[in-house]
């Protein structure tokens, strides 16, 4: 009987212990389970960054040095005469120094430039050629063309080329009328245009007489674009 009681008590104690253990699992203890860290899946291996090809930076644009076109020097003594205006137009003729100095007793005929589809002829006698060569003015009438004529007042002129300054020259055309009969006030001539500019040359009556006597007259032009030119003037 006693053993039965001891056994019963022992079983009761064991049962109490088991219940106590079960009760411990029903409390409010929260077990925190750590959330696994998400490791993103790689979306491909990125290649090396492409280095852009450098753009060539152009250097400063060089300004080409302009090529100087020298002014052609006409044959000394040859000169161009413009006609009178008829029917709203003119013509030019070029008188040759060789014809003025020609001692043969022959007429010389010149054909004018073409304007409005036509030209004219003028004829100079030996006497007229001699007068022009002596610095006088000769007036002639052209042939008829297209129902009209033109008049020319022909006087001898000659061209002299200046000395070189700033890599260029100018031409100066003088009238033999001025040389043969120089005005008391003198004469101012304007040179040909070179590199977009001209020069003025003033000749006194004394200088013109000196040229007419066959001497060389040295003159200096006005200053333009910061420079001037020298001329050694002698008649042909």
User: CA 130 to CA 10: how far, in whole Å?
Assistant: 173
- The backbone region for 167, taken as left when phi is positive above 0, alpha when psi lies in -120 to 50, beta otherwise, is left
Cα–Cα distance measured from residue 110 to residue 144, given in angstroms and rounded to the nearest whole number: 14
DSSP H helical segments within the chain, as ranges? 2-24, 97-100, 126-133, 176-180, 205-212
What does the pLDDT read at residue 158? 82
Q: Which residues of the chain have pLDDT under 50?
A: 26, 29-33, 65-74
The model's pLDDT over 154-172, given as tens digits with 9 standing for 90+, comes to 988 888 999 999 999 999 9
pLDDT at 176: 85
Among candidates 193, 133, 140, which has minimal Cα distance to 158? 133
- Phi and psi torsions of 127, nearest 5°: -65, -40
Question: What's the CA gap between 128 and 100, in Å, rounded?
Answer: 9
pLDDT of amino acid 65 = 46
pLDDT for 146 equals 96
Interatomic CA distance for residues 78 and 97, integer angstroms: 5
Give the model's pLDDT for residue 46: 54
The per-type count for the chain, helices as H runs and strands as E runs, is: 5, 12
Sign of CA dihedral 17, 23, 29, 30: positive
What is the Cα–Cα distance from 36 to 29, expressed in whole angstroms? 21
Cα–Cα separations (whole angstroms), residue 230 to 48, 172, 203, 222, 233 = 74, 11, 13, 10, 9
In DSSP terms, 168 is beta-bridged to 165
Nearest Cα neighbor of 226 from 166, 164, 162 is: 166
pLDDT reported for residue 50: 58
């Amino acid at each position: 009987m006693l053993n039965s009681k001891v056994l019963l008590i022992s079983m009761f104690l064991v049962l109490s212990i088991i219940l106590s253990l079960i009760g411990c699992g029903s409390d409010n203890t929260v077990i925190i389970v750590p959330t696994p860290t998400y490791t993103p899946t790689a979306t491909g291996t990125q290649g090396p960054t492409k280095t852009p090809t450098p753009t060539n930076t152009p250097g400063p644009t060089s300004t080409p040095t302009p090529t100087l076109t020298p002014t052609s020097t006409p044959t000394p003594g040859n000169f161009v005469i413009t006609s009178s205006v008829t029917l709203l137009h003119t013509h030019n003729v070029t008188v040759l120094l060789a014809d003025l100095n020609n001692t043969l007793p022959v007429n010389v005929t010149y054909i004018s430039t073409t304007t409005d589809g036509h030209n004219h002829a003028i004829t100079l006698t030996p006497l007229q050629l001699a007068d022009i060569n002596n610095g006088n003015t000769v007036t002639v009438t052209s042939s008829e063309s297209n129902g009209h004529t033109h008049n020319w007042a022909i006087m001898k002129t000659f061209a002299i080329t200046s000395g070189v300054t700033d890599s260029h020259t100018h031409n100066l055309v003088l009238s033999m009328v001025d040389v043969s009969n120089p005005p008391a006030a003198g004469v101012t001539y304007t040179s040909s245009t070179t590199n977009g500019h001209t020069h003025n040359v003033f000749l006194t009556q004394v200088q013109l007489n000196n040229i007419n006597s066959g001497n060389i007259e040295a003159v200096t032009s006005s200053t333009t674009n910061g420079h001037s030119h020298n001329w050694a003037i002698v008649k042909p």
